[in-house]
Structure formats: structure tokens, C-alpha cells
Amino acid sequence: MSRAGSTLVLFLVVGVGGLHAQEPDPQAGLRISREVCASCHAVEASEDRSPNPQAPSFNRIARVPGMTTTALTVALRTSHGTMPNIMLEDRELRDVTAYITGLRRP
């Protein structure tokens, strides 16, 4: 294999390896939720009433039948008339959705 070919293979191996998403971090999701979401939503596992009565608690959201990480991701990336357009980085979004879906565990 030529030097250029070897360099290309090395680049692809290193480059593709960097594309793998890190595992979501639910604890980071809780921290982000406290900062970004808690003014309207009850975000803690022990909370059932949100500061804004129109905003469901994260416990309630987590227990919606069929609620998945994908469904939450779509919901958070879609504008809602009653929810501000929150702009989260991809990593933050993965962490927040992991936190919310983790609330449905017994």
C-alpha cells in the first residue's frame, strides 16, 4: 500500500472512531434540566408539581405510554406554542432525554 493509501486508511480509522457518540449521561441531563427546564417543569424525581401548571413534570412525561428517547428528541427539537424554543447541543439533548426516560424505572 502506498504512503498516501496508508495515510487515508489511518485518517478513516481515526476519523470514524471520533464519530461514535459517547454514552448519554443522565446525571448531566439532570444538571442541564435544573438549569434550563426547572423554571417551568418539575425536573426532580421526587417532584410531581411543576412551577408552571401547564408544564408537565418530567415524571409524567417519562410515564407517557410509548415515550422513547427518539420521541423526546423529536419533541424537544420541535417548536411548541406553549414551550420556548430551547436550543440544546446534541450531547445535552442526549443527556436530558436519558435522564427523563430513566425516571420511569421503579
Q: Which domain holds residue 97?
A: 23-102
Whether residue 81 lies inside any domain: the answer is yes
Whether residue 15 lies inside any domain: the answer is no
Whether residue 14 lies inside any domain: the answer is no
CATH number at residue 92: 1.10.760.10
As a whole number of angstroms, the distance between CA 30 and CA 96 comes to 7
Whether residue 92 lies inside any domain: the answer is yes
pLDDT value at residue 9: 43
pLDDT at 6 over 50: no
- The pLDDT tens digits of the residues spanning 7-61 come to 444 444 444 444 556 899 999 999 999 999 999 999 999 999 999 999 999 999 9
- Between these two residues, 33 and 85, which has the higher pLDDT value? 33
Provide the 10 A C-beta neighbour count for residue 58.
27
Q: How many folded domains does the chain comprise? A: 1
pTM: 0.77
**Confidence label for 99 from pLDDT (cuts 50, 70 and 90):** very high
Q: At what angle do helices 26-36 and 90-102 cross, to 10 degrees?
A: 100
